[in-house]
């Protein structure tokens, strides 16, 4: 593990922070390209994505803090705010979506059009950010004896027992998902819905290999959220697909 790239006095450059930053930049670059392909302003994409980045980071950290304080009643919010870990995917997705909606509206871009254009970049940026979890030893899975298992002696929390590198699994899931979404961007009736289905399904499966506590029957917090994303994405996709089919079958206006 390489949790710290360098330290100067009180300042510490975390490998996790570097990978998250790189993921955000790559996501923004790819989204700007998708915006331009769709006839939108690439510059407007960067402005809207600034909102998304701020909202995503804030939402992911606040969700983590709330989750950890509920799990460890004796801890304080400051303890978790200052932790190098703690950018939860579902909190970041929720906070980023709200902020992105506001940013798109502020820049005069229809929300649905903007979210669809951003879908491939979201998957690719998420895949890169997960490599930061690997570098700091965060979000690993349960103990295992598979040949590719890793130990995380400097992880959060540390363990010498070989475990599933679930952060790598998620990256390997999201990279082809990003390629799929990029190739589907001109054909899908609801591309962001396809992202929700792919990201949610991958996360639900990966959670089976982790040790997070159950909150609803056998399901963890992340699995409940992931299942909700799959259902929302699938239902919305089918609704919009059906609308397009009905529209294409309707008589053209003015036809006699």
Please check whether residue 221 lies inside any domain of the structure.
no
Please check whether residue 216 lies inside any domain of the structure.
no
Least confident of 22-31, 80-89, 145-154: 80-89
Give the structural domain span for 26.
4-186
pLDDT tens digit sequence for 85-101? 566 777 888 888 898 88
Please check whether residue 25 lies inside any domain of the structure.
yes
Q: Is the pLDDT of residue 253 over 80?
A: no
Q: How many domains does the chain have?
A: 1
- pLDDT mean over 130-155: 91
For 32, how many CA atoms within 13 A lie in the half-sphere containing its CB?
A: 14
Please check whether residue 210 lies inside any domain of the structure.
no
Please check whether residue 164 lies inside any domain of the structure.
yes
Please check whether residue 241 lies inside any domain of the structure.
no
Average pLDDT along the chain: 85
Please check whether residue 129 lies inside any domain of the structure.
yes
Whether a cis peptide bond, with omega within 30° of 0, leads into 157 is yes
Rounded to two decimals, what is the model's pTM? 0.84
Please check whether residue 62 lies inside any domain of the structure.
yes
Cα 109 from chain centroid (whole Å): 22
Question: What per-residue confidence (pLDDT) applies to 237?
Answer: 95
């Amino acid at each position: 593990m390489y949790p710290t790239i360098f330290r100067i006095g009180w300042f510490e450059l975390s490998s996790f922070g570097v990978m998250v930053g790189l993921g955000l930049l790559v996501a923004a670059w790819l989204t700007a390209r998708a915006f331009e392909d769709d006839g939108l302003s690439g510059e407007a994409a960067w402005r809207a994505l600034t909102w998304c980045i701020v909202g995503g980071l804030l939402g992911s950290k606040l969700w983590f803090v709330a989750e950890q304080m509920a799990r460890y009643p004796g801890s304080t919010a400051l303890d978790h705010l200052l932790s190098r870990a703690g950018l939860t995917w579902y909190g970041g997705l929720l906070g980023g979506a709200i902020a992105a909606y506001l940013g798109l509206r502020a820049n005069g871009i229809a929300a649905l059009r903007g979210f669809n254009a951003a879908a491939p970049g979201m998957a690719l940026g998420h895949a890169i950010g997960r490599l930061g979890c690997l570098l700091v030893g965060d979000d690993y899975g349960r103990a295992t004896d598979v040949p590719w298992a890793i130990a995380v002696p400097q992880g959060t929390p540390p363990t010498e027992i070989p475990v599933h590198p679930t952060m790598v699994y998620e990256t390997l899931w999201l990279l082809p998902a990003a390629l799929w979404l990029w190739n589907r961007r001109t054909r899908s009736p609801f591309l962001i819905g396809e992202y929700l289905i792919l990201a949610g399904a991958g996360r639900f499966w990966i959670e089976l290999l982790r040790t997070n506590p159950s909150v609803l029957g056998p399901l963890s917090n992340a699995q409940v959220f992931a299942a909700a994303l799959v259902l929302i994405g699938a239902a919305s996709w089918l609704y919009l697909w059906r609308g397009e089919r009905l529209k294409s079958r309707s008589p053209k206006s003015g036809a006699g």
